[in-house]
A and B are shown apart, each in its own frame.
Chain A
Amino acid sequence: MTYIVKPKIVHSGLQRNALGLTIRDYEGSMSTLCAGCGHDSITAAIVQAFFELHVPPHRVAKMSGIGCSSKTPAYFLSSAHGFNAVHGRMPSIATGASAANRSLYLLGISGDGDSLSIGLGQFSHAVRRNLNMLYIIENNGVYGLTKGQFSASADVGSKAKRGEMNKQQPIDPVQMAMAQGGTFVARSFSGDKDQLIPLLKAGIKHDGFGLIDIISPCVTFNDHEDSTKSYAYTRQFYHPAVHADFVPPAEEIKASYNRGNVMSVELHDGSRILLRKVSKDYSVHNRGAAIDYIRAHQRKGEIVTGLLYIDQGEPDMHGINRTASLPLNELPFDTLCPGTESLVSLQDLYR
């Protein structure tokens, strides 16, 4: 993660959010990724989403593993703490961070190699713990940083730059997360800002584990013809099933939404996600049906996108554990240490 400080030039005309911050306050250092890399578009969408949600940047903890994708937390929210874990182990860092301070917004950025090969176990367990975080996989079907080997998300029949064809089955994080009890599961495309930004906002506000698998083409190693993770392929076979709009607490729902196939899901802070079905026969509350739908389209080579499953009712890790509502890292020592008398009386058990 080369560190190039971006000069902070604030134009007087720049829009300010409810905190009085401009979009600049949500940016990070200059990206060092290849020009045109899908990951950079995701970074831009993240900046926009946090700006629009007017989250204080320092209340976010950014975490990642290793890979080109995992470098990107340096490129947004420069006043948020960041944690570049070892390869594939970001979910455990996020679990500990949440355990210690449940009041932060936890944002994890990972790659398909980081989450679906070396980190598949940790990824799965973060899902089943329903860890309260937003987990983004910047999915390009290859290991970008180690120069283009197939990753576990490469589709059967997809070709590498040098012509080699992948014949192994892909691991789909969306289907996995649904099967393992994920409570917010979405897929999007780095090239579709309009779909991505509202999804990010909803995912940030969702209580529990939110996954957004984002197809994010690697222009250097996997954007050629015969690749199923290229810009061209993704645009052609992109199949939005559900469109999600995010509506903050106080805001009124625009009239046009009230018609037709629109459903509102209320989040814990009073904000809502408005789900607009693009595909009639899709149900966002039925795991089994959702997986069937995704698989049926997958067989046709299509990539189903949108907010594909949501459940606001399940307790997160702290709900299950019944952890104190005050963050554990704020509890004073006196309330944690049982003191002299307890130690004396306790030892009667050992005599």
Chain B
Amino acid sequence: MSAKTKNRVNDFTIKLANVNGTGSASANSLLMKAIFRMGVPVTGKNFFPSNIQGLPTWYEIRVSKDGYLARSGDVDVMVAMNAETYEEDLGEVSKGGTLIYDSTWPRDKTLSRRSVTVLGIPLAKMCNEHFDNVRARILMKNMAYVGALAALLDLDLDVIHTLVKETFAAKESLIGANLKAIELGFEYAGKNFQCPLPTRVKALDKTSGHIMIDGNTAAGLGCVYSGATVGAWYPITPSTSLMDAFKAFCERFRKDPETGERNYCVVQAEDELAAIGIVLGATWNGARAFTPTSGPGLSLMSEFLGFAYYAELPAVVFDVQRVGPSTGMPTRTQQGDILAAAYASHGDTRHVVLFPSNPQECFELSLAAFDLADRLQTPVLILSDLDIGMNDWMCEELKWDPKYKPDRGKVFDAKTLKGGAEKFSRYLDRDGDGVAYRSYPGVDGDGAYFVRGSGHNQYGGYTEDAAEYQQVIDRLMLKWGTAKKLVPDPYIRRTRKASQYAIVSVGSCDNAVQEAIDRLSSKGIYLNYLRVKAFPFGKKVTNFLRKHERVFVVEQNRDAQLKSLLCLETDYSKQRMQSILHYNGLPIDSSCIVAAIEQAVSQGEAA
């Protein structure tokens, strides 16, 4: 797809290469938001180092009139602000693209490539002339390139001005400087270059009814709306902003303006072992509680997760996945915890896992997770990832059903315990669905029992008796069957033509898969698509698999973990599944999917 030959209006990618700690983040998100407000679908991805200041960081903005929100794999406009990565950045620009750099210091030699137009703007010089303060000079360079891009990409200046005013509403003194910097860049570009470029933005009406939000914020909001009152955590990238969001929303919605009293309690735990313990202590007492973490934290939580499975305590755990193994690459994305989450802990242990694919689903599945955890009295893990959790995604507005009532599951309350004809027995399967009734501490002595991870019988008593032990562990499997019926259905997209081919995928692969399907269908390859939203896999997943000769399983890890799980937990033949894997830490784009399927299909036809 050469930049020259194609009409690039509302269909291109800008990449901004910066140094972290120089304040580029707010300029870059302002740029993205301006495009969004012009009604053009857009997405922003941040590639940042595990470091606070001084290392390279990139921000990629894809503008797509067709609403494709995965990475494009191309870079049409590069803003190269980091001298250290000039060469790398120049090399990455697609043929026919444009590179913008700070020409305060001439770099002609390093910065030339025949197929790329290089535009120099003396950003530092302009800012040094107009601003006295050293910090302002650094910060305003960012706003100056936003101004230049406004001219080059034909952005609506009014929209940008409004955004500046909103962004700095709390620090009004900064508005003037920022507007000035934008004007400097805008005028320089207008005077010196032919504006706009072929890659440019034209207002559309394709973003109304949508918001730009990151998944962690949406998930934190989901926790507030679900009625969660206790949160526990130990800081870890990329999950930290989830608890930050929860706390910020609680300060807004759950704090008594007069007394300052809080209707929530967040505990920063000493580690993840404690974080999950705090969650279990709280749910034992009838509160809704959750903990956000990432891979290393999930590993630490394993012992307690097995405990919660066996003692049957609700818990909601967000695993915002990052690159493993071990510490891995903390600021890169992956889907490497699928198996670890599904079977976390020793012994015959299995967990309900939900897989959001975007921020909107982070919100919706948070609510589902709390309901399922209470209904099934078991941990529910939500597997998000860094791409969803920390990047701003365009998604549909979040909706609220005012009729929603939390499903608190089966509980013997004070009335049932006191006046009740039936004696309370903690693990007795009264309803035949594998889910027993629980009781909360402090309510009534008749509901008292011991929560324990050691062998217990259906009455809640300690046991080492073979038959009694097995009865409970078999009932847990019956409960698993109930879980299959209760978890969210998969997302399914069918082609208009009948096809024996299908893609099965998960989570943040969704946008790349959707785009790949469109691209393949224009080449005459038609595929059905199923995206799992939950483990255990329900009937809809197994039925879908059965209807296809060949299934491509697309996921972002090396070991084909989703495929392994499908092999283990469905009767679909392993031979009929082919993995398409992407696991270098950058979010997947459609190209690797298109290439793999094209090849497989052509080989299949030849055979």
Interface string of B436-463 (1 = CB under 8 A from A): 0001111111111111111000000111
Partner among A59, A92, A339, A351 whose Cβ is within 8 Å of the Cβ of B278: A92
> What chain B residues lie within 8 Å of A92 (beta carbons)?
232, 269, 273-278, 280-281
Residues A323 and B277 in contact, CB atoms below 8 Å apart: no
A192 to B36, CA, bound (A): 74
Please choose the segment from B177-185, B222-230, B322-330, B509-517 that sits at the chain A interface, where 4 or more of its residues have CB less than 8 A away.
B222-230
Give B460 Cβ to nearest chain A Cβ, in Å. 9
A339 to B400, CA, bound (A): 7
Partner among A1, A121, A322 whose Cβ is within 8 Å of the Cβ of B260: A322
Partner among A78, A101, A322 whose Cβ is within 8 Å of the Cβ of B262: A322
The reply on B303 being an interface residue by CB < 8 A is yes
A83 to B426, CA, bound (A): 13
A335 to B261, CA, bound (A): 13
Residues A1 and B281 in contact, CB atoms below 8 Å apart: no
Residues B254 and A2 in contact, CB atoms below 8 Å apart: no
The reply on B49 being an interface residue by CB < 8 A is no
> What chain A residues lie within 8 Å of B462 (beta carbons)?
1-3, 74
The reply on B26 being an interface residue by CB < 8 A is no
Residues B277 and A59 in contact, CB atoms below 8 Å apart: no
Give B379 Cβ to nearest chain A Cβ, in Å. 14
A93 to B254, CA, bound (A): 24
Partner among B249, B442, B453, B464 whose Cβ is within 8 Å of the Cβ of A86: B453
Q: Which of chain B's residues has its CB closest to A78's CB? A: B448
> What chain A residues lie within 8 Å of B221 (beta carbons)?
343, 346
Residues B397 and A347 in contact, CB atoms below 8 Å apart: yes
Residues A325 and B261 in contact, CB atoms below 8 Å apart: yes
Partner among A95, A104, A124, A125 whose Cβ is within 8 Å of the Cβ of B442: A104
Residues A91 and B262 in contact, CB atoms below 8 Å apart: no
Q: Which of chain B's residues has its CB closest to A321's CB? A: B265
A93 to B211, CA, bound (A): 39
A79 to B225, CA, bound (A): 35
> What chain B residues lie within 8 Å of A347 (beta carbons)?
211, 397-398
Please choose the segment from B79-87, B285-293, B592-600 that sits at the chain A interface, where 4 or more of its residues have CB less than 8 A away.
B285-293
A1 to B451, CA, bound (A): 12
Residues B265 and A328 in contact, CB atoms below 8 Å apart: yes
Residues A89 and B212 in contact, CB atoms below 8 Å apart: no
Q: Which of chain A's residues has its CB closest to B460's CB? A: A3
Residues A100 and B282 in contact, CB atoms below 8 Å apart: yes
Give B203 Cβ to nearest chain A Cβ, in Å. 15
> What chain B residues lie within 8 Å of A84 (beta carbons)?
450-454
Partner among A73, A80, A89, A129 whose Cβ is within 8 Å of the Cβ of B304: A89
Which residues B404-463 have CB closer than 8 A to chain A? Answer: 404-406, 439-454, 461-463
A321 to B253, CA, bound (A): 16
Give A326 Cβ to nearest chain B Cβ, in Å. 9
Give B403 Cβ to nearest chain A Cβ, in Å. 10
Contacts A96-B230, A328-B230, A328-B265 known; A122 to B448 CB distance under 8 Å? Answer: no
Interface string of B294-307 (1 = CB under 8 A from A): 00000000011001
The reply on A82 being an interface residue by CB < 8 A is yes
Residues A121 and B397 in contact, CB atoms below 8 Å apart: no
Residues A324 and B280 in contact, CB atoms below 8 Å apart: no
Residues B284 and A86 in contact, CB atoms below 8 Å apart: no
Residues B448 and A58 in contact, CB atoms below 8 Å apart: yes
A58 to B405, CA, bound (A): 29
A154 to B471, CA, bound (A): 42
Residue among A3, A103, A104, A337 with the highest chain B CB neighbour number at 10 A: A337
The reply on B267 being an interface residue by CB < 8 A is yes
Contacts A95-B267, A323-B265 known; A333 to B406 CB distance under 8 Å? Answer: yes
Residues B280 and A96 in contact, CB atoms below 8 Å apart: yes
Give A78 Cβ to nearest chain B Cβ, in Å. 7
| A interface residues, how many (CB within 8 angstroms) | 61
> What chain B residues lie within 8 Å of A121 (beta carbons)?
270-271, 274
The reply on B213 being an interface residue by CB < 8 A is yes
Q: Which of chain B's residues has its CB closest to A347's CB? A: B211
Residues A101 and B442 in contact, CB atoms below 8 Å apart: yes
Partner among A317, A318, A343 whose Cβ is within 8 Å of the Cβ of B225: A343
Residues A96 and B225 in contact, CB atoms below 8 Å apart: no
Residues A97 and B261 in contact, CB atoms below 8 Å apart: no
> What chain A residues lie within 8 Å of B227 (beta carbons)?
333, 336-337
> What chain B residues lie within 8 Å of A104 (beta carbons)?
285, 441-442
Q: Which of chain A's residues has its CB closest to B269's CB? A: A92
Residues B263 and A99 in contact, CB atoms below 8 Å apart: no
> What chain A residues lie within 8 Å of B266 (beta carbons)?
321
Residues B445 and A101 in contact, CB atoms below 8 Å apart: no
The reply on B48 being an interface residue by CB < 8 A is no
The reply on B200 being an interface residue by CB < 8 A is no
A103 to B442, CA, bound (A): 9
> What chain A residues lie within 8 Å of B289 (beta carbons)?
96, 99-100
Residues A329 and B278 in contact, CB atoms below 8 Å apart: no
Residues B225 and A323 in contact, CB atoms below 8 Å apart: no
> What chain A residues lie within 8 Å of B232 (beta carbons)?
92, 95-96, 99
Q: Which of chain A's residues has its CB closest to B263's CB? A: A324
Which B residues contact A (CB, under 8 angstroms)?
A: 36-37, 210-213, 221, 224-227, 229-230, 232, 249, 253-254, 256, 260-267, 269-271, 273-287, 289, 303-304, 307, 397-400, 402, 404-406, 439-454, 461-464
Q: A81-B284, A121-B274 are in contact. List 8 more A-B contacts (CB 8 A).
A: A58-B448, A61-B285, A61-B442, A95-B267, A95-B269, A99-B287, A322-B262, A351-B37
| 27 A-B residue pairs with CB within 8 Å | A3-B461, A58-B447, A61-B442, A81-B440, A92-B280, A93-B284, A95-B269, A96-B281, A96-B284, A96-B285, A99-B278, A99-B287, A100-B283, A100-B285, A101-B286, A101-B440, A101-B441, A321-B262, A322-B260, A323-B265, A324-B256, A333-B405, A336-B227, A350-B211, A351-B36, A351-B37, A351-B211
Pick the 4 closest A-B CB pairs, nearest first: A96-B281, A92-B277, A79-B445, A100-B287
